[in-house]
């Protein structure tokens, strides 16, 4: 077997414990899964005697050879030698890589478990053929894991490998992967110049009711993009002019399509958010119970998760809803209100980032800085939920760009000037009015507005977000300039009116309001 052409896509790690294998025969389970599309198998057995392990290894090797897939043995170089299989997988506490190589020779496949950049560098330098990167998620299958690193941790390791010139070393990730999260993890863990070669699973195959079907499914999922990555055939608008040209169409499309804006938001702004959604022509629903999202996500709309009054139950509801929307690829807007204010909120941000794909993240400077710093890059203590600005203009634009690039999404940082980016193109918008800061919930209802726009224009989320911001902020300017508006109290109804009027004018082909865009 040529070690350069090994396919790591669906990597099965065996487990013969009753909790996972049940009363089934391991050989039958492995054969079914290889028939379905498993591309590489590792015999992992922490309890059997050497003789029994060699016997099982020989049986499995007869099967894997028939299907031309490699068999590796976990930890036990002696067993691998006795079986005569293709290689071994060694952990950080097992035999040294150099010693294993000496015993097995240059043609054997040797993989190493790593959970940090340092471990990855050592293994690559030592000549590992592939790395098993983990633990991605805590898993009942292996409880003595050292580091739970999420997709973000995998991505950092892949990036470090590429930076150090180890592109040729193959990689799989492991820990808690299954059919539901596989595509998202693979997508989110992709570094700019290196991506995973496969995913390693135990229970998703060994405990599957039908291992052949499960392997076929994992293989298909690994080889396709997640539903939330919209492959639009139309070219995306990339310049200010091109985006501005698109804005009227997007405003019209919201009014025409009446997309559902599903708000999981705080008590303070529910009423305001629903009224804003209606004014721009969207169809609002306020539903904070996660279970409902499994029905609502099928209606072609978008979800807003607004962390305004988060509690542990609320967090579980968000996660359910995010999973539902991610699974059908309908967009999600995340508003990490007060992200840095408390330990609970910081931890909620981290949980949400590791368990969901967020099409749009919208927040003020402190919130965006906290979300960016969540991986341990840099973190800020925020006071309350109000916005404070500490960064220079160029730093703000760079922060937004870097977060969007890392999360492969669109990030909006609101303030006197708003910054938004998809990681490649970064724009600033100077519209708006101070009254927006004197009324509660305007930031939250901007999230609602963006959700409707992205639902209406999923192929170009950046352009949709620009359209939402312009509609919203120019409406605020027009309202504030009205003679009947004397302060924040009279501003609110006038603002709703102007949102409505801009929508109506645009639908009738009158787009003069866009001239105020700056
Ligand atoms: N190694 P499941 S996690 C065997 O982090 C193993 O190195 C891990 O099982 C590591 O796919 C793990 O059922 C178990 O979550 C993975
Ligand atoms: Mg081990």
Q: Looking at the CA of residue 132, tell me the nearest atom of ligand 1.
A: 7
Using pLDDT thresholds of 50, 70 and 90, give the confidence band for residue 387: low
For the question of an ipTM over 0.90, the answer is: yes
Write the DSSP assignment of 185-242 as a string of letters: HHHHT-BTTB--SEEEESHHHHT-SSHHHHHHHHHHHHTS--TTS---SSPPP-SHHH
Using pLDDT thresholds of 50, 70 and 90, give the confidence band for residue 386: low
Residue 1 has pLDDT above 90, yes or no: no
**What are the chain's domains?**
3-222 (3.20.20.70), 240-516 (3.40.1190.20)
- Dump pLDDT digits (tens) for 255-310: 999 999 999 998 889 999 999 999 999 999 999 999 999 999 999 999 999 998 88
Coil/strand/helix, residue 328: helix
How far apart are the CA of 459 and the centre of ligand 1, in A?
36
Residue 390, pLDDT score: 76
Cβ proximity of 326 and 228 under 8 Å:
yes
Residue 308, pLDDT score: 86
- Give the chain's count of helices (H) and strands (E): 20, 16
Residue 375 has pLDDT above 60, yes or no: no
Q: Looking at the CA of residue 178, tell me the nearest atom of ligand 1.
A: 11
To the nearest 10 degrees (0 to 180), the angle between helices 365-373 and 393-407 is 50
Q: Is 202 in the pocket of ligand 1 (CB under 6 A)?
A: yes
Q: Is 183 in the pocket of ligand 1 (CB under 6 A)?
A: no
Q: Which ligand is nearest to the CA of 90?
A: 2
- Catalytic center residues: 444
Q: Is 113 in the pocket of ligand 1 (CB under 6 A)?
A: yes
Residue 51, pLDDT score: 97
């Amino acid at each position: 077997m040529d070690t350069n052409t090994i396919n790591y896509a669906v990597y099965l790690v065996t487990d013969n414990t009753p909790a996972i294998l049940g009363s089934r025969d391991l050989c039958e389970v492995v054969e079914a899964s290889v028939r379905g599309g498993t591309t590489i198998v590792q015999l992992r057995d922490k309890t059997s005697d050497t003789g029994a392990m060699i016997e099982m290894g020989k049986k499995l090797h007869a099967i894997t050879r028939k299907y031309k897939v490699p068999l590796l043995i976990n930890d036990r170089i002696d067993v691998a030698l006795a079986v005569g299989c293709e290689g071994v997988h060694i952990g950080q506490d097992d035999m040294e890589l150099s010693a294993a190589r000496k015993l097995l020779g240059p043609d054997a496949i040797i993989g190493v478990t790593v959970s940090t950049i340092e471990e990855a560098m050592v293994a690559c330098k030592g000549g590992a053929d592939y790395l098993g990167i983990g633990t991605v998620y805590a898993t009942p299958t292996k409880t003595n894991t050292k580091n739970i690193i999420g997709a973000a941790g995998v991505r950092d390791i892949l990036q470090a490998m590429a930076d150090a010139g180890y592109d040729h070393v193959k990689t799989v990730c492991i820990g808690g992967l299954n059919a539901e999260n596989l595509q998202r993890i693979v997508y989110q863990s992709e570094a700019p110049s290196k991506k995973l070669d496969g995913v390693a699973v135990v229970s998703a195959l060994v405990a599957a009711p039908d291992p052949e079907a499960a392997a076929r499914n994992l293989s298909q999922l690994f080889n396709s993009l997640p539903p939330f990555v919209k492959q639009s055939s139309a070219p995306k608008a990339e310049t200010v002019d091109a985006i501005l040209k698109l804005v009227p169409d997007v405003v019209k499309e919201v009014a025409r399509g009446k997309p559902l804006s599903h708000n999981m938001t705080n008590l303070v702004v529910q009423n305001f958010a629903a009224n804003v959604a209606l004014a721009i022509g969207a169809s609002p629903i306020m539903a904070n119970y996660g279970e409902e999202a499994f029905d609502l996500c099928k209606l072609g709309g978008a979800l807003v998760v607004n962390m305004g009054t988060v509690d542990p139950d609320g967090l579980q509801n968000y996660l359910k809803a995010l999973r539902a929307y991610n699974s059908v690829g309908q967009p999600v807007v995340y508003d990490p209100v007060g992200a840095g204010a408390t330990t609970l909120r910081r931890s909620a941000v981290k949980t949400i980032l590791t368990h969901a794909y967020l099409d749009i993240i919208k927040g003020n400077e402190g919130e965006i800085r906290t979300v960016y710093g969540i991986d341990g890059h840099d973190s800020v203590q925020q006071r309350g939920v109000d916005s404070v600005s500490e960064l220079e203009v160029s730093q703000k634009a760079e922060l937004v760009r870097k977060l969007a690039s890392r999360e492969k999404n669109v990030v909006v940082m609101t303030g006197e000037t708003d910054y938004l980016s998809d990681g490649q193109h970064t724009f600033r918008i100077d519209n708006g009015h101070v009254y927006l800061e004197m009324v509660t919930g305007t930031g939250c209802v901007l999230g609602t507005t963006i959700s409707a726009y992205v639902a209406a224009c999923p192929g170009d989320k950046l352009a949709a977000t620009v359209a939402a911001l312009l509609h919203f902020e120019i409406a605020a300017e027009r309202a504030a300039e009205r003679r009947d508006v004397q302060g924040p109290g009279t501003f609110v109804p006038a603002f709703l009116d102007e949102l409505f009027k801009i929508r109506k004018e645009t639908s009738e082909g009158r787009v003069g309001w866009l001239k105020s865009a700056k």
